[in-house]
Structure 1
């Protein structure tokens, strides 16, 4: 995998299997807008932490975009700025932040004003059943509540120097000390298992619609951020294709 529009390439798969092409989507620069590189992750996996951090370190993007609400950024920045390497808490988002340098950092996920606009546009255009709208709002409420917990935890962390962790990190069968090949193999196994489970069930319309609105929100934010230059975005792997397609929409 080579870095787009840069002279410092990312490792090839032969050198580091954690950089397989499956984890990347590249949207070239055009019409004065910078390129966008979507970097897929399995949340909290050591292979993903390495890929997120190393990609940001090597490419030094103008903007680092994260699948986080803007409200949540301060807590993850505090996790990133502690001495742990890789960060003990905050997963791949904190790992990417630890290498942010001069990059502007933006949380692109819901809740946000953009998400509210996307929801309003969806209701006006599709006129869905009230049950679907109510289900989307019910699903969005825990997301808002979680984002507020992030912000409160960051404030208390800063004022009391207590390390507050709203999310318990997921544990895997490999760690950052394992060989790159072992990490990559386990990460792909986790991804395949997750997709098999998702393929085996049919999501309720409100759950599926909430995911689509989140993806539309993130893509719209990325389209606007391209005007500032190059963008590296760290996202859950299952969002990559939908977000890529929406970013490329005019």
Structure 2
């Protein structure tokens, strides 16, 4: 498949598939193509785009902006009868269409993140307070991933549905027309970027995001050796991950 986006709805027929949300990295040197799908977490438009992309393309690998520790919980959300899944947002929506695709969590915490962190400290020699800030920021990520795993274990053994993340609510639903969903999704994205643009983030927060993006990109470079990859990531990570998949 030269360009997988040609198998998706065109922006003219479905504005939820506007080019801003998609990044295609062609196959090369025996590696499969990668399609990055940007999302606004929990938004109905993003849920649809994630699920429909996986359903149509049937990739060899479905990669998600989740820690691998959290995958069992989101798979359980996806395998319930709710359509779209009631919990788990666009990640569960994509998993609900995974079929024979191998599903993988590519976000921190994982061994690759530890290697990226060690390389960052060794090569950039950041101030001690910045390193401490990065570690402090990474600790809640690990804690949250462990909550996912515990919730999945309890869900499997007791059928008690635990939801560590409360789904966000928006002014549109899956029942609204695609045009209304797409318009609200872009409005949410623009609002979020305006707020971030008005705030100067501390170096440790920026560096933690950079390390997470490097971790996800490195995992994608490894996974594409198995064939085609669809990766679902937050829209704010889309460009950085795309650049890093192309090279270090």
Note whether the superposition's TM-score is higher than 0.5: yes
Cα distance in 1 for residues equivalent to 2:4 and 2:18: 18
Corresponding residue number in structure 1 for 2:204: 206
Corresponding residue number in structure 1 for 2:159: 161
Cα distance in 1 for residues equivalent to 2:15 and 2:205: 33
Q: 7-16 vs 71-80, which deviates more? A: 7-16
Summarize the alignment of residues 79-118 of structure 1 with structure 2, pairs less than 5 Å apart: 79-118=77-116
Q: Answer whether contact 2:62 2:98 (CA < 8 A) is retained.
A: yes
Q: Answer whether contact 1:8 1:58 (CA < 8 A) is retained.
A: no
**Following TM superposition, where does structure 1 have runs of at least 4 consecutive aligned residues deviating by more than 3 angstroms?**
3-8
Q: Is 1:129 the counterpart of 2:130 in the alignment?
A: no
Q: Answer whether contact 1:8 1:59 (CA < 8 A) is retained.
A: no
Corresponding residue number in structure 1 for 2:30: 32
Cα distance in 1 for residues equivalent to 2:92 and 2:156: 16
Cα distance in 1 for residues equivalent to 2:187 and 2:237: 18
Summarize the alignment of residues 178-189 of structure 1 with structure 2, pairs less than 5 Å apart: 178-189=176-187
Q: Answer whether contact 2:4 2:35 (CA < 8 A) is retained.
A: no
Cα distance in 2 for residues equivalent to 1:92 and 1:68: 11
After TM superposition, the score normalised by the length of structure 2 is 0.98
| Cα-to-partner distance string for 1:84-126 (whole Å, 9 max, x where unaligned) | 0000000000000000000001100000000000000001100
Seen in structure 2, the aligned counterparts of structure 1 residues 64 and 84 have a Cα distance that, compared at 3 Å, is same
List runs of 5+ in structure 2 lacking aligned partners. Answer: none
List runs of 5+ in structure 1 lacking aligned partners. Answer: none
- Describe the SS at the equivalent of 1:68: strand
| Cα-to-partner distance string for 1:133-175 (whole Å, 9 max, x where unaligned) | 0000000000000000000000000001111100000000000
- Describe the SS at the equivalent of 1:234: strand
Pairs aligned (count) = 248
